[in-house]
Chain A
Amino acid sequence: MAIHPQTESKIITREPVINDFAFSVATKNGSGSQTSNNVLVRSLFRMGIPVNGKNLFPSNIKGLPTWYTIRASKDGYTARKAVTEIVVAYNDATATEDVSNLPPGGVCITTDKIAKVIKQRDDISYYEIPVTKLMRQTKVPSAFRKLVENMTYVGAVAQLFDIPLELIYQVLLDNFKGREKPARMNHDIVELAYHWTAENIVKTDPYRFENMDGTRGKIMMTGNEAGALGAVFGGVNVVAWYPITPSTSFVDGVIAYRYLRQNDAKENTIAIVQAEDELAAAGIVVGAGWAGGRSLTSTSGPGISLMSEFAGLAYFAEIPAVFWNITRMGPSTGLPTRTSQGDLLFTHFLGHGDGRQICLMPGNLKEAFEFGWKSFDIAEALQTPVFVLSDLDLGMNNWLSDPFDYPDQPINRGKVLDADELQAFIDEHGKWGRYMDVDGDGIPYRTVPGTNHRFAGYFTRGTGHDEMATYSERSDDWIENMTRLRRKMDTARGLLPQPIVDADSDADIGIITFGTNDEAIREARNWLANDDIKTNYLRVKALPMAAAVTDFIDQHKSVFVIENNFDGQLTQLIRLEHPENISHVRSLALGDGLPMTPTWIYENLKLQEG
């Protein structure tokens, strides 16, 4: 089936456009543009305009081209737009391409130097900022000059599209944690460019920002920060990790919020160990989970690969631990700074031999926070590793959200027996064995080291064992154990977060997805509805899948599974679990390294549906 790439039609407009357009900021990596872009996004947020910022950055420290897209949407849509009306072309290496990507009626803000070398178009507005000349007028020490040069476009944008200067100063102060000196130094440049633009540029475009009331009560943060905060509220106490993009900022988040869990003497209830590699990080969290801790590691594809042996051990020996996979594009080193949903099958089946791993797939900030704490309850309730499959888009970009809800359930440590409970168990059942399934749900009772009872100790192993945890190579013991593990996974289906379903009985088309495509699908569904194409929607939040997915598939004449990986992995999983009557299930799989756009969904779904 042919799938169109992510492009967008180019629409020209001369009517005033307020709070409903997008920017693309093209700079060189490492040039300080992160601060400039962050300031623009935060300023719009504080003007009350629903906004998102997506960093499309290279695997590089300094010099390679990098883009940042900012979308303002009065209607509250925050999915990425492939075509932006405005480009800030501050990188000579990409300027020609950046300008050619603009729609007719678009705007190019560039430097006087770059303007001389790029091919001019007659259907867009050009605004040239004399950056070198302006920088010569500043008192910025030469060591900082290159790093603050990008503030010139912030000033120009503020003037051209009506962002108040005073607001930008407040955001700069926040950005520098209240330190006036760097805020002032940056703001001086913003002001300089602002006034120069006011005096020298004649505005010929229709785009403008206006204060509105679309972000009151909302927060803005990255998914990695939200997940980390959730983990802190979930009682995490041992964190082990190895640096890898795009997961590193997750542990940075735990470090930042660790203070919330310190006692009065500033002593920690969270140990954080930077391990020598992901193998060791996995070993540390498995060891901690075995000993009764709440342990977490955060990594991405290559790290998950290294963790697979421990993941299999933890699954088979039934040890709780939480693994965040902030997915980036594979295979191999792949596109290390680009987003992907391509680890779904690998993570779900992680480990050699038979078995399934529990996966949770957050689709937004609130769910990142929720799964941050809930993953521990699930891991301990099921005595198994839990993988939270986030991605680079959610993990590293700023998202808009309602404030997070405080956990609505007390901490659940699962079936752990202390010395008295162990004695009661033995009194009731005649004996205790680590892998005895007395409740019939596949979940046994465990003891943790340090339990003061002469029968509390047992031997944990990845080798074959019977229900007493004794070494066994007997086929019947093996089959019995594997059957119980399968029973446990079936118990999980009902216990895990259930899918989000937005279904209206008279729609024939069903859309299934998971994770961060949610916003793009929401917008695309509204466009489709405007074309009288009604769709129902189901977003899977956990694996193994809930029964509701089967019902949804059965209830629709046509089902599209939309996902941001190349192979259509959720579709494959659905085919695996529902081998009958699924010829009406079609895959819309992307996997181009970029966050999905509503246009791509809209066009391809219409194309397939005919």
Chain B
Amino acid sequence: MPPRTNHLGLSRNEYKGRPSTLCPGCGHDSISNQLISMAYELGLEQHKIIKVSGIGCSSKTPAYFLGGSHGFNALHGRMPSVVTGALLANTELECIAVSGDGDSGSIGMGQFKHVIRRNVPFIYIIENNGVYGLTKGQFSATADEGQFLKYYGTNHMPPIDLALEAVIAGATFVARSFSGDAKQVQTLLQAAVRHNGTAVLDIISPCVTFNNAETSTKSYPYGKDHEIPLHEIQILAPDYVAAKEEIEIEDYDEGDIIDVEMHDGSFLRLKKLDNDHDPRNKRMALDVLERSMREQIFSTGLIYYEEPRPTLAETEELVETPLAQLDEAQMRPSKAALDGLMRQLTI
């Protein structure tokens, strides 16, 4: 039987990258898998995608998905600036960027905040495991206060919550998820692709080697037992929108449904679970994150969403043609222009 293909006629295999060299069972590999599925399911064209990362275990992963796309494994903590430059040079590119909690929460905190402030439109995934893997098990800035690790003892510093930082910096799409919750990661990725602004996904992604004890809030056992999704999320693609009203609302009251219209005309349908969270409300988003951090509640889902403000390229008022594809006439003013200017300057 021939393999299943998407609307481009490509099989899922064609969205894969090289084999992963991360530890077997690493949470990051599940996220790479969801990225492959997302691109396959949506039939994304790989040549229009760039993959950019910083340095660290998480930042190795762009080699393991979308082998047909250009990838750039850049510098520790500096992925956001590279993305900014690339997307200014070519506004037709879509960018999937991968970072880690050390990459974004420590060395790259400045770039993390500033890329959000400029609203560069891309998917900013933080594969958050609370620990430095490649250097063998130091605490990261997202590790819980009081947490114990074998070689480094007890962590006495309070954690930095990167989703909270993203909301404060002005991100218009902020989600938290768990790499063990494949379905939710998949849905959030499909939503993030549709967002025309910086979409931050803080995904708790356990490190099976250095930080997977049951007592760690970044572990598989903890995540599986404690994850509390804020909503059930469903994406209604643009073609379904016409029929939106007819989609059955199963067992929910209408008041428990939040529909968020996305940039491409599709809708995110959030079905409330055991809480009143409305991601369109910034105060509520901050409260949920603050309380989750304080009481160690593992709330996941779309934490915050707002209609995106202009992207950086829009603010720059650039021509429609990608700058990287300008022709000579657009890149070099005429000889008459130079001579005219020179005449103005002479006596």
Contact = CB atoms under 8 A, between A and B. Distances in A.
Interface of A: 45-46, 48, 215-221, 229, 232-235, 237-238, 240, 260-261, 263, 266-273, 275-277, 279-295, 309-310, 313, 373, 403-404, 406-407, 410-411, 447-454, 456-463, 470-471
Which of A233, A234, A266, A273 is the most central at the interface, judged by chain B CB atoms within 10 Å of its CB?
Answer: A273
Contacts of B313: 271
Interface in B45-96: 45-48, 50, 52, 62-63, 66-75, 78, 80-90, 92-93
Interface string B108-132: 0011001000100000000000000
Contact of B86 (A220, A273, A449, A462): A449
Contacts of A471: 63
Interface in B255-305: none
A309 B317 CA distance: 31
A271 B90 CA distance: 11
B332 interface: yes
B312 interface: yes
Interface in B138-175: none
Contacts of A470: 18
Given A269-B331, A291-B89, A233 B82 contact: no
A238 B88 contact: yes
Nearest to B342: A403
Interface of B: 18, 45-48, 50, 52, 62-63, 66-75, 78, 80-90, 92-93, 110-111, 114, 118, 312-313, 316-320, 322-326, 328, 330-333, 335, 337-339, 341-343, 345-347
A293 B90 contact: yes
A456 B47 contact: yes
A597 B192 CA distance: 62
A409 B277 CA distance: 62
A283 B323 contact: no
Contacts of B83: 287
Given A268-B317, A269-B318, A276-B111, A287 B90 contact: no
B346 A268 contact: no
A290 B80 CA distance: 14
A275 B89 contact: no
Contacts of B345: 219-221, 403
Nearest to B343: A403
A608 B338 CA distance: 46
Given A284-B88, A291-B89, A309 B75 contact: yes
A319 to B, nearest CB: 9
B70 A458 contact: yes
Nearest to A448: B324
Contacts of B323: 237-238, 269-271, 288, 293
Contact of A456 (B62, B70, B90, B333): B70
Contact of B89 (A233, A237, A280): A237
Contact of B70 (A48, A266, A460): A460
Contacts of B318: 267-269, 271
Given A294-B331, A453-B47, A286 B71 contact: no
A354 B338 CA distance: 41
A273 B88 contact: yes
Given A276-B110, A456-B47, A463-B73, A268 B85 contact: no
A378 to B, nearest CB: 16
B88 A261 contact: no
Contacts of A411: 328, 331-332
Nearest to B316: A271
B169 to A, nearest CB: 12
B331 A237 contact: yes
B333 A293 contact: no
Q: Which 7 A-B pairs have the closest CB atoms?
A: A283-B81, A287-B85, A293-B89, A235-B331, A292-B324, A288-B85, A287-B82
Contacts of A260: 333, 337, 341
Contacts of A45: 347
A216 B347 contact: yes
Nearest to A282: B81
A267 B313 CA distance: 11
Contact of A410 (B319, B324, B328, B337): B328
Given A267-B319, A310-B75, A460-B70, A261 B324 contact: no
B324 A283 contact: no
15 contacts: A219-B342, A219-B345, A235-B332, A237-B324, A263-B319, A266-B317, A287-B52, A287-B89, A289-B89, A313-B74, A406-B335, A449-B93, A457-B68, A459-B73, A462-B74
A453 B316 CA distance: 30
Nearest to A454: B68
Given A283-B111, A292-B324, A450 B92 contact: yes
A10 B118 CA distance: 58
Contact of A269 (B47, B74, B90, B330): B330
Contacts of A273: 84, 88, 118, 312, 316
A485 B17 CA distance: 28
A271 B68 CA distance: 28
Contacts of B337: 260
Given A282-B81, A284-B82, 19 more contacts: A45-B347, A233-B332, A261-B331, A271-B88, A276-B110, A287-B82, A287-B89, A291-B89, A291-B93, A292-B89, A293-B324, A309-B78, A310-B78, A449-B86, A452-B45, A459-B63, A459-B71, A462-B75, A471-B63
Nearest to B117: A276
Given A269-B323, A280-B110, A457 B347 contact: no
A164 B43 CA distance: 75
Contacts of A289: 85, 89
B186 to A, nearest CB: 23
A285 B333 CA distance: 22
Nearest to A459: B71
B63 to A, nearest CB: 6
B114 A276 contact: yes
A607 B190 CA distance: 76
A459 B328 CA distance: 29
A218 B346 contact: yes
A290 B50 CA distance: 11
